[in-house]
Amino acid sequence: MSDRAVLCPSAFFARWRWRAMFAVLVAVTAAGYAGAPTRLALARTSAEFCIVAQTAIVAAKPVARNEIHDDFTAFTKSKPVAEPLMTTQYVWRESSDPQAGPMIISCKMKTADHLIAVYGAGAAGADIGCSGVNEITLREVLASFTAKERRGLRFEGGRRIRFEADIVTTQGPVWLEPYALATLGAEGSLQLQAKGMRNEWLDPRYAEAPPQFRGTRYCHLIAPEYLRRLLLGEVEPGKG
C-alpha cells in the first residue's frame, strides 16, 4: 500500500444519533439468525458483517442471508436480492500477502424503499449512510478496549475522528474506483471516508432498468481490524 489508505483496484454525530444507531444493532441481534453475534457485531470482520450493515444502514427489519465472495470478479457480478433478502460481501486486504489483515469490507445491500415495497411499511427506515455504519464500527471497536487501553489510543483515545460525507455514485464501475479511506487531518484528527452507490427502487430514472439494477445500496466500509490498527498506531493514515 502507498502512504494513503486506498481502496484498490476498482465529528462524531450528536449523542442522540449514537443512541439511535446502537438501538439498530440491538434490534438486529434480538431478531436472531443462525450464528448471530450477541454483541459488538461490527467489532470484527465476520461472515455476518454485511447482514448487520444492511440492518444498520436502513434499520431493515428482514434479516438477510449473506453471500461471501473470495473472488473479486465474482463479487463485481453479484447483486443483492430483496426477496428473500440477500447481501453480498467482499473483503479487501491491506496487501497481497495472504496473511494480511482486512482493510475494507464491501457490502452490496438493498435500499429502504425496495424493502418497503417488498415487505411493507415499517420494513425499513431512514438511511444513515455508509459513514453511519462506520460510526457504529468505531463505537464497537472502542468498546472492545478496556478503559485503560482506550486512554492510550491515538487520536485522543478515539475522540478525534472525523467522518467525511460519503462519496456517492449511481454507477458500479465508479464505486469500484480507488479512493482514500483514511487520512490525517491538518488538526491531527483521523478522517475516515466511506464510498457508496445508491439507486432507489422507486427512482423514475430507472423505471425501465432490469430489476437487479434497482434498489441497490452499496458501501465500502472500514474493516474493524484496520480501524483498530490505526487507533493503536500500528499503521499510519495517509496525508490529507
Mean local confidence (pLDDT), 70-81:
97
Cβ atoms of 183 and 240 closer than 8 Å: yes
Q: Which three cell numbers stand for residue 117?
A: 415495497
Phi (first) and psi of residue 18, to 5 degrees: -60, -45
pLDDT at position 27 over 80 = no
Q: Among candidates 116, 142, 152, 164, which has minimal Cα distance to 224? A: 142
* pLDDT computed for residue 11 by the predictor: 31
Cα(30)–Cα(26) distance, integer angstroms: 6
Residue with the larger pLDDT of the pair 13 and 68: 68
Rounded percentage of the chain residues whose pLDDT exceeds 70: 83
Cα(118)–Cα(30) distance, integer angstroms: 22
Mean local confidence (pLDDT), 92-120:
97
Mean local confidence (pLDDT), 183-195:
94
Q: Which three cell numbers stand for residue 20?
A: 439511535
* pLDDT computed for residue 240 by the predictor: 66
Choice among 39-43, 121-125, 148-152, 188-192 with the minimum mean pLDDT: 39-43
pLDDT at position 91 over 90 = yes
How many residues are present in the chain? 240
Q: Please state the separation of Cα 7 from the chain's center in Å.
A: 13
| pLDDT tens-place string over residues 198-234 | 999 999 999 999 999 999 999 999 999 999 999 999 9
* Average pLDDT in the chain: 87
Task: Give SS3 for 230.
Answer: helix
* pLDDT computed for residue 35 by the predictor: 36
- Concatenating the DSSP letter of every residue in 165-223 gives PPEEES-HHHHTS--EEEEE-TTS-EEE--EEEEE-TT-GGGTTS-GGGSSEEEEEEE-
Cα(47)–Cα(21) distance, integer angstroms: 21
pLDDT band at 107 (very low <50, low <70, confident <90, very high): very high
Mean local confidence (pLDDT), 116-140:
97
- Concatenating the DSSP letter of every residue in 105-157 gives EEEEEE-HHHHHHHH-TTS-----HHHHHHHHHHHHHHHTS-HHHHHTSHHHH
Cβ atoms of 125 and 132 closer than 8 Å: no
Cβ atoms of 25 and 42 closer than 8 Å: yes
